[in-house]
Amino acid sequence: MPADTEVAADSAADLPEDADQLTAKLRHAAVAALPPGRLMPDRQPAYVASWIYVFGVLTLSALAVVIVTGLVLAIFGPSWWHVSTVGLFVNSLHLWSVEVFFFAMVVHLWGKFFMAAWRGRRRATWITGVVSFVVSIGAAFTGYLSQQNFDSQWIATQAKDGINSTGAGAIFNVTNFGQMLMWHIILLPLVVVLLVGLHVLLVRLRGVVPPFAPPKGSTIETETVPSHEEIPTGDRP
């Protein structure tokens, strides 16, 4: 970096903040809602100690593999995997990562259900999780329709009746390969990634739901886990 630029940057850092700026307001709101210690905490409440918690991060990991293998398939085009051994390998990775993704997500979902993980102002976290699951089903479905083989032909001819019965077939034509491919590689993955991102941010914002506690008829506040800085010093490991 040129010396004069460094000087300019240092000078800018020393300038007083313009609190009326939308940029400054947005930054303040974001940092207030998710300070670094809460966004990426290095400790969790002691009750976060079960194998069931692993399935959330397994879902994220599988989604990462789904996206990376999908990107490789997208680079070479939809016909590549039918004629290339490497393409078939990548397609297989894509298929199996989707299977692992759904398995982990379903276990995660039912685990969170039995924890009643919506408690303590975590309802939006639950809803974004459920909607992510539903949209993921759509993403996988359009993937099956985009295979260009007998399976995709069969699924298209069978699924059209259900889609058409809802009226959605007017705009969502499962027998239109081009349309389904676009939904599969652009629209639905984008929505899934945005929803999952929002879901993870909400998890960080609200923290991991505490176990059921006793009080009947008590009045309490419904906020949740304090940020790192707010953890009493005596409780820190």
Partner 1 sequence: MTASPKPTIGLLRDRRFKPDRDVEEWHGKYLPYDLVKEFLIALAVVVLLVVGLTVVFSSPDDQPVTVRSWSTAQPVDFAQTAITELDGSSGTAGYGPPYNQTPDASQSIGPFSPESWFGVHHPIDSANDYVVAPLLTLPNQPGLDAAISTYTSAPATQQASWTAAYEKAVADATFTRGALQVPSGRYGPVAPMISALTSMARSGALDGALISSRQFYGTDYTKPLLFMADGTYLANLGQAQHLQGPQWGMMNETGNYPGQAWLWLYTMWYQVPPMKTSSNADLQVWAIMMVLTLLLALVPFIPGLRSIPRWTRVYRIIWRRHYRDLNEEVDNTGPSPPAAAES
- The torsion defined by the Cα of 68, 113, 40 and 64, in degrees rounded to 10, comes to 0
200 by DSSP, 3-state: which? helix
* 154 residue type, one letter: W
Q: Smallest distance, Å, CB 26 to partner 1?
A: 21
Separation CA 8–CA 11 (nearest Å): 5
Q: What is the DSSP letter of 186?
A: I
Nearer to partner 1, 20 or 159 (CB): 159
Report residue 48 as tokens: 């976060």
* 184 residue type, one letter: H
Inter-residue contact 78 to 148 (CB < 8 Å): yes
Nearer to partner 1, 8 or 31 (CB): 31
Phi, psi of 20 (to 5 degrees): -80, -10
Q: Smallest distance, Å, CB 183 to partner 1?
A: 12
- Taken as a whole, the chain contains a residue count of 237
CA dihedral for 184, 186, 189, 192, sign (positive or negative)? negative
Nearer to partner 1, 21 or 157 (CB): 157
Nearer to partner 1, 21 or 176 (CB): 176
Nearer to partner 1, 8 or 106 (CB): 106
Nearer to partner 1, 22 or 163 (CB): 163
Separation CA 62–CA 100 (nearest Å): 6
Q: Smallest distance, Å, CB 117 to partner 1?
A: 9
Report the interhelical angle of 85-114 vs 123-145 (nearest 10°). 150
Nearer to partner 1, 45 or 191 (CB): 45
Q: Smallest distance, Å, CB 19 to partner 1?
A: 23
**Distance from chain centroid for Cα 125:** 11
Which residues make Cβ contacts (< 8 Å) with residue 64, sequence separation at least 6?
none
Q: Smallest distance, Å, CB 225 to partner 1?
A: 6
Q: Smallest distance, Å, CB 24 to partner 1?
A: 23
Q: Smallest distance, Å, CB 41 to partner 1?
A: 7
